Chains A and B, each alone.
Chain A
């Protein structure tokens, strides 16, 4: 291994953004014919490091060598000239163009554009590696996984032989992930260098030959995948021993709390987002919601919270004495005025749950500022709450006067979750609560959610990591295209089964309700 010439060698790379040192003195080699996993928690500098190869950022210090020769990469175009192509988390495709048009877009060729020839070349690439994509299909008709395929083909079409994929599986179902991995293996066998950025350990184990680990911007070490295990990688990634299982206490006295019946929701442009959705969420239980992103999870939670107009159907809140109250047609204030204590941790933390430029105290006030008859706000109580949340949830912040935008993702989430559970809710709605969080923070959040469950709160947990959903939730409701495609028991459900329900209605699997 030592006598191979690295396709890419990064030496002593440092990059900082203001106070944040994104990378510090990183040495990394990438070889052809190999799949390298770049593993690290969120904010560990994986994407920044790779963006410097892709020409998006330029290193502050250090040198990049391509095939042993020093290289300076100022732009994505120059990256392509070195054969480096990166597939970003957010796709950059023109919706109204076909796959082929998107792939050809931006390539500079002399003379007239020969679409037929280009399409033929695209087909050859697809056949070589086993891509399942139709060059003539328009992007807006494609699924997320197909769009990703187009991005990969686009990079290959430009002659890249060093491919970097930034968290490619975040948007895929387990089945689609398997397909992607098969394609990546074909590319490796063809002698290409493949880098996959990820923080999911089981993926590292499934796909890569070698794994390089970053922590807080620094290179920690590299391992040969087959000689290591999840525990060793986690310890290197986090820096200390972490226990990797989630509790699932038995629900105590589960009673219906929220009854949704025949809920149908359309977006403002008339697209059907939820179609005749019915289910019951019980107090003292965690109801997981699984589904490909955009299957109606957001609309479902917002409808319950009173933020989304409803076309038809009912959402009933069950009081302790068994009486029922309708939530449809009420706004958040009216719902609160009815005495329903409903907390909501939305997906978009800084765009909806919090105000980024305000400090912790002011953010705590968002829920409570109306209290009292005074014209003026009371900052004392929220300040105490902020201090309590910082203390109990170990939020790392200079003070409670720091704008929340300056905190890291995990700390932002702790502030939001801390505020939402401070009001002693009876219903807790949460959307992707651990997205972007490091392992420690994630486990702390699971623990907080479990405590709410033990207190008899009806928890609705929208998640994307199926492993976590299966470990944490008592029941899992699967959404597919706005319809309920199944409700499974969390203790007995299998990942494969959930994956199938996410992509096809019914799926031939027994549906229990």
Chain B
């Protein structure tokens, strides 16, 4: 009788709170699904065995002690940048300027190494470099914060543009500091004296970096969760109206929080130059200012969970590099696999928050008419 009525076949409703076990089961299931999709794509486009490819990825990321240390360092650097962005993001200040803030921190570090390397002993030089880097990063982030607080400018565009300024600034100084002349590079700074190089603990060049970032992670977690500042910035992020209502000085909180955000970025720049690369290039941050955004979001701004999300991203990047070298595949192939896995992880949040209903044949009660 009512065959002509069109019913929507699917409809989507918001789920009630889901038990965490079930949520993690969904996340795990989606990662598994991602691996299956990747396997199908690998097998059909490259005629390689997907299992061999996955094995190579593991080997690339964790195959030797050296590789594990490199993975640890990469993880620490990415995590540090994500941690730096987090207080700003919690305040709903979209700091996309991580890249630039890291670069100016690195620039300040390199400047100290070059100009003070011959006069100061390491015990004084390294703290000076640290302070300079943190101050430079903080300044770079406070400029857009000041404009946001005073004139409500768009922080997304402002911080993004500051990245380009920072890149150009670094490019300018590379020409001044270039060594050997004409190479267009700064080269390893203080190669012989090792002035301003972070000390090596034991035999592991990267251990100190990892320890410093671990300390920053714990400090950031405590700051956000238990400090009065952390509470204030969360209130400002949720509602500036509420913040004003309880007498929080919104302008001051915005500037203070971005000071912190930029300072940790600057610290990362210091770690990169003083602890790992011992040189400076315009691509020193290598896009990690943006990948850090993804790390922070994936972990839903929880500093401890960010360890896991940055591990995932670093692992994928390292593994993808390995398979492109071993099998002579295009670098993009690794990116494709990373993309599929991220897509699946992000979409698992959809299934955790929403439920899809298939509508049962409706209107059965028509006999009542």
Q: Interface on A for B, CB 8 Å cutoff? A: 11-12, 16-19, 58, 60-63, 65, 68, 70-72, 74, 305, 307, 331-333, 336, 344, 346, 348, 350-358, 362, 365-367, 369-370, 374-377
Say yes or no: A65 contacts B7, CB within 8 Å.
no
Residues of B within 8 A of A63 (CB): 362-363, 365-366
Name the 5 nearest CB pairs between A and B, nearest first.
Answer: A333-B247, A332-B247, A19-B16, A18-B14, A70-B2
Say yes or no: A377 contacts B242, CB within 8 Å.
no
- How many of B's residues come within 8 Å of A, CB to CB? 35
Q: Tell me if B181 is interfacial: C-beta within 8 Å of chain A.
A: no
Say yes or no: A72 contacts B7, CB within 8 Å.
yes
Say yes or no: B357 contacts A11, CB within 8 Å.
no
Say yes or no: B13 contacts A18, CB within 8 Å.
yes
Q: Tell me if B368 is interfacial: C-beta within 8 Å of chain A.
A: yes
Say yes or no: B241 contacts A72, CB within 8 Å.
no
Total cross-chain contacts (CB, 8 A): 94
Write the chain B residue with the least CB distance to A71: B5
Tell whether A358 pairs with B234 under 8 Å between CB atoms, given A332-B245, A353-B242, A376-B227: yes
Q: How far apart are A411's CB and chain B's nearest CB, in angstroms?
A: 17
Q: Tell me if B201 is interfacial: C-beta within 8 Å of chain A.
A: no
Partner of A356, one of B14, B226, B231, B238: B238
Tell me if B's interface is mostly helix, strand, loop or mixed: mixed
Residues of A within 8 A of B88 (CB): none
Of the A-B pairs whose beta carbons lie under 8 Å apart in the complex, a sample of 17, sorted by A's number, is A11-B368, A58-B8, A60-B357, A70-B363, A71-B5, A72-B6, A74-B6, A332-B246, A350-B239, A352-B242, A352-B245, A353-B242, A365-B231, A366-B246, A369-B232, A376-B227, A377-B231
Residues of A within 8 A of B242 (CB): 351-355, 366
Q: Tell me if B132 is interfacial: C-beta within 8 Å of chain A.
A: no
Write the chain A residue with the least CB distance to B354: A18
A235 to B144 alpha-carbon distance, docked (Å): 59
Q: How far apart are A121's CB and chain B's nearest CB, in angstroms?
A: 32
Say yes or no: B16 contacts A18, CB within 8 Å.
yes
Q: What 1/0 flags go to B229-264 for Cβ under 8 Å of A?
A: 101101100110110111100000000000000000
Residues of B within 8 A of A332 (CB): 244-247
Q: Tell me if B11 is interfacial: C-beta within 8 Å of chain A.
A: yes
Residues of B within 8 A of A12 (CB): 365
Which B residues between 309 and 358 are near A, CB-CB below 8 angstroms?
Answer: 357
Tell whether A366 pairs with B235 under 8 Å between CB atoms, given A19-B16, A58-B11, A72-B6: yes
Partner of B15, one of A11, A18, A346: A18
A376 to B242 alpha-carbon distance, docked (Å): 21
A61 to B13 alpha-carbon distance, docked (Å): 14
Which of A12, A354, A355, A374 is packed against the most chain B CB atoms within 10 Å?
A: A355
A63 to B232 alpha-carbon distance, docked (Å): 50
Say yes or no: B8 contacts A367, CB within 8 Å.
no
